[in-house]
Amino acid sequence: MAVTEVRPKPASEDALSVALTQLRAAGRELGLADDLIEYLSRPQRVLSVNFPVKMDDGRLRMFAGYRVQHNFARGPAKGGIRFHPSVTMDEVIALAMWMTWKCAVVDIPYGGAKGGVVVDTKALSLSELERLTRRFATEISLLIGPEKDIPAPDMYTNPQIMAWIMDTYSMHQGYSIPAVVTGKPLEIGGSLGRSAATGRGAVDVLDEYARTKGIRLQGAAAVVQGFGNVGGAAARFLHDLGLKVIGVGDITGALYHEQGLDIPAMLEHRDRYGSIEGYEGGEPISNEELLALPCDVLVPAALENQLTGANADDVKAKIILEGANGPTTPEADEIFRDKGIVVLPDILANAGGVTVSYFEWVQGLERFLWDEEEVNRRLRQKMTRALHEVMEVAEREDVTYRQAAYYLALGRVADAVRIRGIYP
């Protein structure tokens, strides 16, 4: 008998309303017509799948998943795949929409997409995870392809999962197609620098912002929520730049150290045990206390909706560097603006991952691999150019960096839509 996956209450029910509020506000401010805003607010394609996976104990279990393609006006759809128990279709639509804007902000030739499976990967064996991934890849192979829609890792997915997707897709086509996914292992055509790219790109943005504004980062205090691909790399690069990372949190809890946590040791601990749980070099604090720590830079790098109307007043950071997608609600944004807290927004700050994914895709199509120095140099170039464009719009229009990033993105997507003749 098939056993149905029980879905816990979604933690991020309103990611879509956040994404839509941001889009509609920026669209109106930019003077876009209502029908164009309406067009941009709809995902172009939504694939919802229910699929069986044989578990190790012989039972069959049903899983639900989604692949959403929000918009292709500027190129093939691009975006990660998330495996998380609270994934919903609306959340994936919001994440796909943010991908469209993000690719436009850094000016890479993609539209936006995202995928998700409702699953707690920690409850699966490795072979169950592989069977689930291969079955999901088969289900979404209707949509994906190197010229159509190119997945990559997001929360609780990784290079191994990308390798299984690439292998499954290639098996169906009858030959190897590395460019169908990015964030692959190096052995099968992954790019040097991709795994650290989101954290590196975010810290490049912060570094350039600080340089431009004459802010000294050496010795400044930073706090990082989320210690996975994005948060872990961001913490490492902040530490390397000479900031004191005084607080770090993950799903298991948070730690504080006034003099700065030993980030290399914490990363080693995470790599060995899977989380920061059991690391003894800091004082345990709650997630709420973590986000309210007095600091210069706060990096939310976990889930959506972490900084809301309910806790924004408690935030004491001077700069918020958004590693996560959608960590700040519009209500919190207003509070931060009134308090003079600078937000370097997700669609700019965390675009380093998709930027190096783009480099990986280009390398895959050309069958020519770049060295890591070249990848990191081009990444910094893309991120700093986008930052300066956003800063220029913000200054000219007297708006926040999020508004400016939206103006830039919507302007570029709207231009493509008009030039292609989709919109009069």
Give the annotated binding-site residues for substrate: 78, 102, 357
> In the set 225, 305, 328, 384, which binds ligand NAI (CB under 6 A)?
225
357 binds ligand AKG (CB under 6 A): yes
116 binds ligand AKG (CB under 6 A): no
Minimum distance of ligand NAI from residue 171's CB (angstroms)? 25
Tokens for 89?
């279709």
> In the set 111, 190, 228, 282, which binds ligand NAI (CB under 6 A)?
228
Q: Which option in ligand NAI, ligand AKG, none does residue 287 bind, with CB closer than 5 to 8 A by kind?
A: ligand NAI
> In the set 88, 133, 168, 350, which binds ligand NAI (CB under 6 A)?
350
325 binds ligand AKG (CB under 6 A): yes
Minimum distance of ligand AKG from residue 242's CB (angstroms)? 27
In Å, the largest CA–CA distance within the chain is: 65
324 binds ligand NAI (CB under 6 A): yes
Q: Which option in ligand NAI, ligand AKG, none does residue 301 bind, with CB closer than 5 to 8 A by kind?
A: ligand NAI
Of the candidates 322, 306, 304, the residue with the CA atom closest to the CA atom of residue 314 = 306
229 binds ligand NAI (CB under 6 A): yes
Binding segment for ligand NAI among 104-112, 245-253, 333-341, 389-397 (CB under 6 A)?
A: 245-253
- Distance in angstroms (rounded) separating the CA atoms of residues 133 and 11: 23
Q: One symbol per residue from 138 to 177: x for binding ligand AKG (CB under 6 A), - otherwise; what is it?
A: --------------x-x-----------------------
Minimum distance of ligand AKG from residue 166's CB (angstroms)? 14
- Residue facing ligand AKG at closest CB distance: 80
What does the angle CA 136 – CA 141 – CA 147 come to, to the nearest 5 degrees? Answer: 135
Q: Which option in ligand NAI, ligand AKG, none does residue 193 bind, with CB closer than 5 to 8 A by kind?
A: none
Comparison of 305 and 335: residue with beta carbon closer to ligand AKG: 305
Which sequence positions are flagged as catalytic? 114
